[in-house]
Amino acid sequence: MFPTATIVFREILEVALVIGIVMAATRGLPGRVNLILAGLGLGILGSAIIAFFTQSISEAIDGIGQEVFNAAIMFTAVAFLSWTVIWMKTHGRQLAQNIKAVGADVVSGKKSAYVITGVVALATFREGAEIALFTYGMTASGAYTLAQIAMGGAIGALGGTIVGAMLYFGLLKASQRYLFTVTSWLLIILTAGMAAQGANFLIAAGVLPAIVPQMWDTSAILAGNSFLGETLKVMVGYTPKPTGMELIFYSTVLIVVGALYKNIGRPTKPNAAQSLAAE
Q: Which residues bind another protein (CB under 8 A)?
A: 3, 6-8, 12, 16, 19, 23, 27, 32-33, 36-37, 40-41, 44, 47-48, 51-52, 54-55, 58-59, 63, 66-67, 128-141, 149-150, 153-154, 157-158, 161, 164-165, 168-169, 172, 200, 203-206, 210, 213-214, 217, 219, 223-225, 239-241
How far apart are the C-alpha atoms of 69 and 55, rounded to whole Å? 12
Q: How far is the CB of 274 from another protein (least distance, A)?
A: 35
Smaller CB separation from another protein, 91 or 257: 91
Smaller CB separation from another protein, 82 or 84: 84
Smaller CB separation from another protein, 40 or 257: 40
Q: How far is the CB of 8 from another protein (least distance, A)?
A: 7
In one-letter notation, the amino acid at residue 170 is: G
How far apart are the C-alpha atoms of 129 and 51, rounded to whole Å? 5
Smaller CB separation from another protein, 97 or 214: 214
How far apart are the C-alpha atoms of 46 and 127, rounded to whole Å? 11
Q: How far is the CB of 85 from another protein (least distance, A)?
A: 20
How far apart are the C-alpha atoms of 205 and 67, rounded to whole Å? 6
Q: How far is the CB of 162 from another protein (least distance, A)?
A: 8
Smaller CB separation from another protein, 87 or 246: 246
